[in-house]
Amino acid sequence: MTPERDRVPYAFTHDDTAPIPVVCGPVTTPRHPRSKVPEITAFFWIIKILTTGMGETASDFLVHAIGPLISLPLGFAGFAVSFVIQMRSRTYVAWKYWLAVAMVSVFGTMAADVLHVGIGIPYLVSTTAFTVALAVILWQWRSHEGTLSIHSIHTKPRELFYWGTVLASFALGTAAGDMTAVTFGWGYLTSGIVFSVLFAIPLVAQSRFGAAEITTFWTAYIITRPLGASYADWLALPPSRGGIGLGTGLVTVLWSLAIAALVTYLALTRRDVETDQRPR
């Protein structure tokens, strides 16, 4: 059995239809053996937030270092290769899954930035557009598959809907984070603090008050993007732009190393895989 210390109070249950309040302790409901996503633990949220910040600074670094005409196709190529690797995998493999998430983060950031910097679309407009796109994807997913549960990702159609949702959420989070920091004038640190609070609300609502699991999961998931990006920008950007000036290159390297270390740990220990899927 999985030790209780491996779980967190906001672990999500796996029932596709009814939310179950979770206080602490292992979740015993088995998921499909071909599930292509990790179990939702503290490790999941930590790595997810790190990938969002890394994608933000990596995108900025590449665009300024080699220019958008090269960096955008390069970002798409990285996304495409990692996506094919993930789709060809028969079950969840830590490094394949998180490589795809990281590349989605980089390319999603570039796509959102192109709309504002390259075309001149205001952050408010792009945020609204990505919100509509995300809502359409989720609606189509629910209509075709009957569930939005992350624990039901074991068929190709569901996996395609899942990654479409992930890509749209990254683009939305990028636009929303820039909108609060720049358009609203909050700055990156204040934006990060605000998104930290917003991130905690659905987790507490699900774990303490039994709020709907699927709704709270996807709400928290979407918020991780502007949350991680706001803190990464605060660390990387110069004081003249509201940061502390570590540089996009250094922040990208440091956060990438942290991601690699955590993913390696999970690959070795398999703590992000449910008890019934661990080797006996």
Provide the pLDDT for residue 33. Answer: 59
The answer as to whether 4 is a domain residue is no
109-157 tens-digit pLDDT: 888 777 777 788 888 888 898 899 999 999 999 999 998 888 888 889 9
Position 81 pLDDT exceeds 90: yes
Provide the pLDDT for residue 31. Answer: 54
**How many distinct structural domains can be found in the chain?**
1
By C-alpha distance, which of 197, 279, 271 is closest to 47?
271
17-52 tens-digit pLDDT: 444 333 333 333 345 557 789 999 999 999 999 999
Give the confidence band of 68 by pLDDT, cuts at 50, 70, 90.
Answer: confident
The answer as to whether 10 is a domain residue is no
The answer as to whether 84 is a domain residue is yes
Q: Which tokens sit at 33?
A: 């053996």
Position 103 pLDDT exceeds 80: yes
The answer as to whether 89 is a domain residue is yes
The answer as to whether 229 is a domain residue is yes
The answer as to whether 118 is a domain residue is yes
- For residue 205, give its domain range: 34-273
Counted residue by residue, the chain has a size of: 280
Provide the pLDDT for residue 19. Answer: 41
Instruction: State the chain's mean pLDDT as an integer.
Output: 85
DSSP per-residue string spanning 161-206: HHHHHHHHHHHHHHHHHHIIIIIS---HHHHHHHHHHHHHHHHHHH
Query: What b-and-e string marks burial along 212-245, b requiring 16 or more CB atoms within 10 Å of the CB?
Result: ebbebbbbbbbbbbbbbbbbbbbbbbeeeebbee
The stretch 181-187 carries a mean pLDDT of 90
Provide the pLDDT for residue 171. Answer: 82
Residue 191 neighbours by CB under 8 Å, 6+ apart: 177, 180, 181, 226, 230
Q: What does the alpha-carbon distance between residue 97 and residue 88 come to, in Å, rounded to a whole number?
A: 11
Provide the pLDDT for residue 46. Answer: 98
Considering 108-112, 204-208, 261-265, the range whose residues carry the highest mean pLDDT is 261-265
Position 106 pLDDT exceeds 50: yes
The answer as to whether 110 is a domain residue is yes
246-255 tens-digit pLDDT: 999 999 999 9
The answer as to whether 9 is a domain residue is no
The predicted model scores a pTM of 0.84
